[in-house]
Amino acid sequence: MKKKRVGIFGGTFDPVHAGHVALTHSFLNSRLIDSLLVLLTPEAPHKQGQDKTSFDDRLAMLHLALDEIENVNLSTIEQQLPSPSFTLQTIEYLQNTYPNTLFYLCMGEDSLVHFHKWHKYREILKRVDLIVAERPGYNRHSVSTEILESVIIVDHQPVKVSSTNVRLGLQEGLYGIDKETEVPESVRRYIDEKGLYR
């Protein structure tokens, strides 16, 4: 039986922005995967102790941004798994739960250059290949051969935006003016209605 191919795209998405949406399309357009599983992380290990928007609000914004994209599924399984949300733990859970599925770990090239700092990254590489969206300005040659052997690069037109800049822009009243604070219209309305990041 042919295994279904599923990409795993995780993050805190605080908030989800146009860059995340663009990445989602690039992963799916690569034709390497049949669907994309977007995992909302309750608390990323490298962001522990940082203030963040509630899980429910971040999930609601993800639904607004991604629900209409075909072959995208949102998952909250990391909320049920032991904290902190290490990627290896999530991959092991998914592979054990869905043995007939071939999983890939999806990320932007900006994440790839720091991948060697991830918890038990070598164990991750033993379990999955990495689908990486190109991002100009990042030197892939700084990544070890050990990691690159498991990497599949896919075409991507990045959007210059980050969750940090969105939050800062909102706090400083720049939202709606500064292009670096770009988020989907439905998410912008939700942020305004809820008074988030003020």
With contact defined as beta carbons under 8 Å apart, do 14 and 62 qualify? no
Q: Give the mean pLDDT of 14-36.
A: 96
Count CB neighbours of 26 within 10 A. 19
Half-sphere exposure of 64 (CA within 13 A, CB side): 20
Identify the weakest region by mean pLDDT among 95-99, 128-132, 182-186.
Answer: 182-186
The pTM for the full model equals: 0.91
How far is 63 from 56, CA to CA, in rounded Å? 11
How many other C-beta atoms are found inside a 10 Å radius of the C-beta of residue 40?
Answer: 23
Q: Is the pLDDT of residue 181 over 60?
A: no
Residue 39 region, left (φ>0) first, then alpha (ψ -120 to 50), else beta?
beta
In 3D space, the residue among 79, 16, 8 whose CA is nearest the CA of residue 43 turns out to be 79
Structural domains of the chain, with CATH: 4-194 (3.40.50.620)
Q: What is the pLDDT of residues 161-173, one digit of tens each?
A: 888 888 888 887 6
pLDDT of residue 177: 42
pLDDT tens digits for range 112-130: 999 999 999 999 999 999 9
Reported as a pLDDT band with limits 50, 70 and 90, residue 142 is confident
> Is the predicted pLDDT of residue 143 greater than 80, yes or no?
yes
Q: Does pLDDT of 89 surpass 70?
A: yes
Single-letter residue type at 176: G
Helix (H/G/I), strand (E/B), else coil: 54: coil
Q: Does the pLDDT at position 134 exceed 80?
A: yes
Q: Say whether pLDDT at 179 is over 50.
A: no
How many whole angstroms separate alpha carbon 156 and alpha carbon 136?
A: 10
